[in-house]
Structure 1
Amino acid sequence: MTDFARTPRRPAVTLGRVRLGAGGPLVGVRVADGRVTHVIAERERGSSAPVGTAADERVVDLEGRVLLPGLWDAHVHLAEWAGVRRRLDLSGTGSAREAADRVRRHAGGAAAGTVLFGYGFRDALWPDAPHKRLLDAVSPDRPVALVSADLHAVWLNSACLALAGRGDHPTGLVREHEGHEVLSALPEASPETVDGWVADACRAAAARGITGVIDFQFGDTVGAWERRSAQLPPAVRVSAAVYPEHLDAAVARGLRTGSGIGGHGDLVRVGPLKLFTDGSLNTRTALCRDPYPGLEHTDGSHGLEQTSPRDLVRLMRRAAAHGIEPAVHAIGDHANTVALDAFETVRCRGRIEHAQLLSPEDLPRFAELDVIAGVQPRHATDDRDVADRYWAGRTGRAFAYADLLAAGARLEFGSDAPVSPLDPWLAVAAAVGRTDDDRPAWHPEQRLPLRDALAAAARGRRLIRVGDPADLVVVDVDPLDADLDTLRAMPVHATMTDGRWTHGPY
């Protein structure tokens, strides 16, 4: 495979004998200077003659494989995902005790003060509650910090609570903003180490056909990507989010959504301003019109308001006035209404991230207000059981992708990695099939047609046309001929970003 990071821009290349899109004709596609310059039917150009005329032009015979627009992950936490790939995996644990037992088997073999990080537990349906006592029993000396699959809760033992300055916490289960504060107080890997992990994660993403991501990593994401891209270009395009605590600095620098940063052309750009209206379904902090079953008479029975409507409008208005588009996290139906109301007040372009539970009257507002719905189809299949319990009677309007599409909304797929794996084909299969196991489709009326799912996975790009960026993916199987299992494991032959191979044998 080509070392993308160290190879200068290549001469023009012609991709010969390739199918142009799912179910498309056999063509030759010429790429030069990071753009598609020609698309010519094979019968017009002959079986082997190159489209271009440059003496050093290379012709790559793709032997009838399928060429698709490059795919994007429109919602990822890259450093978190890169780190999770090296943490204790707690996915699939069915109880707090089972999770603690998994910690017990991994707690030895390291210095007592070294933090054992784990990730991936989902406690919404557990028969027992996470508590520091369970972790203290299996790891009394070594600090343990376990992050929930949705990134909205952290479960710590007493040693780790003390390390984070929260020694008096009653349960060790810390949610939402306080959880992020606790994690930031714990020892971290060096920036150089994290940058290496992120570079590996980007190469792994390219191997699945990814040509770009929106990175919503918490913290100074723009600064982190300026550091990384100053030396080597990433294997994918990156749109780096801005968080409110860094908004003033971005404005002072004159940065706007789409501004190029780093030293490699337009591969790394400033992304949107990330704002939160509520929490998540698994932690029962998504802000809903109806109370959560069993929590009717408690504080927070309807979820958690992260940002008041007034502050939301204030922040969105300041960002939009300086060319920074907002991306508003909203999961519960009331949170989505609040977010859409804010967009209607400010009258700016932007995104709502997740849009998981929607009121029927809010569906057409996405198109009316030109607000993108950034959705994660794997969440629909991962959370179906939790939704059936806590959103009982309302799940017909949960993860309502078909309804959003019918209402004219623009959908963009992401993974929210590490909440679900950074793999666009899992999202496509989940959107098309509404199941990821042997059970029947969950609310099959919300399934998307394959072509619409592929477009949502490519940030709306449906065709490959002359003048387009040469962000392309070559797959071995026509998606139109693939069953759900094949879609999930789609064999990616090669990936090209900005006219250079980022994955494959070339």
Structure 2
Amino acid sequence: MQPIRTLALLLFSLATLCAQAATLVHNFDGYQATEESLEKFNALVFERGKVLASGDYADLLQRYPQAEKIDAGGRTLLPGLIDAHGHVLGLGRLQQQLELRDLDLTQTLQAIERFSENLDPDQWLLGRGWNQVLWPGKQFPTRIQLDALQIDAPIWLRRIDGHAGWANSAALKRAGIDRNTKSPDGGEILRGKNGEPTGVLIDNAMALLEQAIPAPNLQQDKESLRTAFNLALSLGLTGVHDAGIDAQTLRAYRQLADEKAIPLRAYPMVSVDNDNLAETLGAGHIGSPAERLYVRSIKLSADGALGSRGAALLEPYHDAPGEKGLLLYPESKILSLLKLAIENDFQVNVHAIGDRANHIVLDHLQSLQEKNDQKPLRHRVEHAQVLTPKDIPRFVELDLIASMQPTHATSDKNMAGDRLGEKRLAGAYAWRTFLQQGTRIAGGSDFPVEPANPLFGIHAAVTRRDRAGVPSKGWRVDEAMTLEQALRAFTLDAAYASHQEKVIGSLEPGKFADFILLDRDIFAMDSQEIWKVQVMETWVEGEKVYVR
């Protein structure tokens, strides 16, 4: 009997130890999207970073009486939010650069002038965020406007969408761009009537200038990533999908992972512009779904953006009848890059905004599917912004994920009709159409193109209004998501899009205890107010990593 009694005591001690190690969070209104439904709960138990149970407080208290108890103070608890399409290094760098978001032309020029006062000698003035659509006349700016500021420094300012840039004469001179410089394939140097560059470069032409800008070193890139991580955590993001990284950024990520200095879940996509792409993909996946760094996808941009008229369209732009946009690679090159990724078991995430770009990408993926089943790789179309209505059902046929950014619709609403005409809007920003046919939407922001706050995205998804409440009834509101669908897009389906739905995306037993506490209940308020909700705490693997 003695051995049995000893074993029983040992098991009791182990059970007591486990119970004491558990943490029980209670007194909150909790919501999570699962594969079956939206679940509401008011208590959460986790241990060693993983969820043991969620549900009713009285029940969990009885099951885990020895657990440490944390009173959430009546706040709202959600699974950690995931941004399925952002640019992490760009977000970090922007914190040291000039941001021009939402400024008119006069304000933009004034901001540039003020920012220049603190530049070191020979330092470039860098920034992004200008948007000519917000200016009178909606015309692209020119180098003459920058030159008139009499700033000696070379100036380079990316458009809000990152698909065009604006330079002064000093910057063009440093890059050797003049009237004799030819526009590269997939890009355009805008020129005046005299043939001289106006200072605006579109898509692939931007590389002609950016090669003249001193590149940050590895340590600087690591610091920019750290800055972005901390900002993301403060906004309730516990996961980010980094939409296209170069070789140095990948090294920075790997070093940070080795140093255990990645405080959230990063899913970087290897850019196809890497010189050593074949070697990188041939080396295989990096990490696993449960690790902070997980690399198993590529990012390929098929076309440009709608605002800069770089999105590739089947028919000419409504407001520029001679233009159809740009493919950034020849169709054959797009196909060869897709094949290279697939042969190495990498998911392909393809930027496609215009209906022509989307059609080409769908054709290529269909041809590859016919040769070999692609569905286990979970290929994604990033943006899937403008499609012909007959192309949308092909997402179901090919089992593709639509990686979409709700704030793009509320930012583009004043411009999209100009670019496309009302008829072609039928297949644009068509979230509900995708959802009703069973396509998963992975929610994102495309930061720093848009603000990184995921609650802005949830607000836009539900209301189809901007944060000023315009238009009052929503823009093309028939394509709005429900709040449950929007939450799922930024949690469970974003996790699915990175092959991580078994470890994150909801707070089901066995998954990581990644969650956030909000100051208000987004399910019990005017939906127009959602963007104002504040993240009070962010937890990753059961550890509090941010407090407001």
Give the Cα–Cα distance (whole angstroms) in 1 for the partners of residues 241 and 480 of structure 2. Answer: 24
The aligned runs of 1:93-492 (5 Å cut-off) are 93-95=103-105, 99-124=108-133, 126=135, 127=137, 128-166=139-177, 170-220=197-247, 221-244=249-272, 245=274, 246-253=276-283, 255-256=284-285, 259-260=286-287, 266-297=291-322, 301-347=323-369, 348=374, 349-393=378-422, 394-436=424-466, 437-439=468-470, 440=472, 441-460=474-493, 463-492=506-535
Q: Indicate the SS of the match to 1:36.
A: strand
Q: Indicate the SS of the match to 1:93.
A: coil
Q: Corresponding residue for 2:64?
A: 51
Deviation at 1:282, TM superposition (A): 0.8
Deviation at 1:197, TM superposition (A): 3.1
Deviation at 1:141, TM superposition (A): 1.6
Deviation at 1:25, TM superposition (A): 4.8
Deviation at 1:356, TM superposition (A): 0.8
| Amino acid paired to 1:153 | A
Q: Corresponding residue for 2:9?
A: none
Give the Cα–Cα distance (whole angstroms) in 1 for the partners of residues 167 and 506 of structure 2. Answer: 48
Is residue 498 from structure 1 mapped to residue 525 from structure 2 by the alignment?
Answer: no
User: Structure 1 stretches (4+) deviating beyond 6 angstroms?
Assistant: none
CA contact (8 A) 2:271 2:300 kept: yes
Taking a change above 3 Å as real, the CA distance of residues 242 and 64 of structure 1, as seen in their structure-2 partners, is: same
Using the aligned pairs only, state the percent identity: 29
CA contact (8 A) 1:380 1:434 kept: yes
Deviation at 1:123, TM superposition (A): 2.1
Taking a change above 3 Å as real, the CA distance of residues 26 and 213 of structure 1, as seen in their structure-2 partners, is: closer
CA contact (8 A) 1:496 1:502 kept: yes
CA contact (8 A) 1:158 1:167 kept: no
CA contact (8 A) 1:363 1:407 kept: no
Deviation at 1:184, TM superposition (A): 4.0
Deviation at 1:78, TM superposition (A): 0.9
Greater CA drift, 431-440 or 180-189: 180-189
Taking a change above 3 Å as real, the CA distance of residues 472 and 294 of structure 1, as seen in their structure-2 partners, is: closer
* 1:135-161, Cα deviation, whole Å (9 max, x unpaired): 112134211111110001111111112
Taking a change above 3 Å as real, the CA distance of residues 184 and 265 of structure 1, as seen in their structure-2 partners, is: farther
Taking a change above 3 Å as real, the CA distance of residues 25 and 98 of structure 1, as seen in their structure-2 partners, is: closer
Give the Cα–Cα distance (whole angstroms) in 2 for the partners of residues 367 and 499 of structure 1. Answer: 37
Q: Corresponding residue for 2:30?
A: 20
* 1:291-340, Cα deviation, whole Å (9 max, x unpaired): 0134323xxx1110112332222211221121111000000111111111
RMSD (Å) for aligned C-alpha atoms: 2.4
Deviation at 1:90, TM superposition (A): 1.8
Larger Rg: 2
CA contact (8 A) 1:233 1:267 kept: no
Q: Indicate the SS of the match to 1:343.
A: helix
Equivalent residues, number = 482
CA contact (8 A) 2:389 2:426 kept: no
Give the Cα–Cα distance (whole angstroms) in 2 for the partners of residues 230 and 337 of structure 1. Answer: 41
Q: Indicate the SS of the match to 2:148.
A: helix
Q: Indicate the SS of the match to 1:270.
A: coil
State the TM-score, normalizing by the size of structure 2.
0.82
Q: Corresponding residue for 2:501?
A: none
* 1:190-225, Cα deviation, whole Å (9 max, x unpaired): 432332232122122112211100112442242221
Taking a change above 3 Å as real, the CA distance of residues 225 and 473 of structure 1, as seen in their structure-2 partners, is: same
Q: Corresponding residue for 2:189?
A: none
Give the Cα–Cα distance (whole angstroms) in 2 for the partners of residues 151 and 499 of structure 1. Answer: 36
Q: Indicate the SS of the match to 1:342.
A: helix
| Amino acid paired to 1:442 | W
| Amino acid paired to 2:367 | T
Greater CA drift, 86-95 or 448-457: 86-95
| Amino acid paired to 1:283 | S
Deviation at 1:88, TM superposition (A): 1.8
Is residue 71 from structure 1 mapped to residue 81 from structure 2 by the alignment?
Answer: yes
Taking a change above 3 Å as real, the CA distance of residues 485 and 177 of structure 1, as seen in their structure-2 partners, is: same
Structure showing the higher helix proportion among its residues: 2
CA contact (8 A) 1:292 1:302 kept: yes
Deviation at 1:171, TM superposition (A): 1.8
Deviation at 1:359, TM superposition (A): 1.0
CA contact (8 A) 2:244 2:299 kept: no
| Amino acid paired to 2:45 | R
Q: Indicate the SS of the match to 2:418.
A: helix
The aligned runs of 1:79-94 (5 Å cut-off) are 79-94=89-104
Is residue 31 from structure 1 mapped to residue 60 from structure 2 by the alignment?
Answer: no
| Amino acid paired to 1:107 | S
CA contact (8 A) 2:244 2:270 kept: no
Deviation at 1:353, TM superposition (A): 0.4
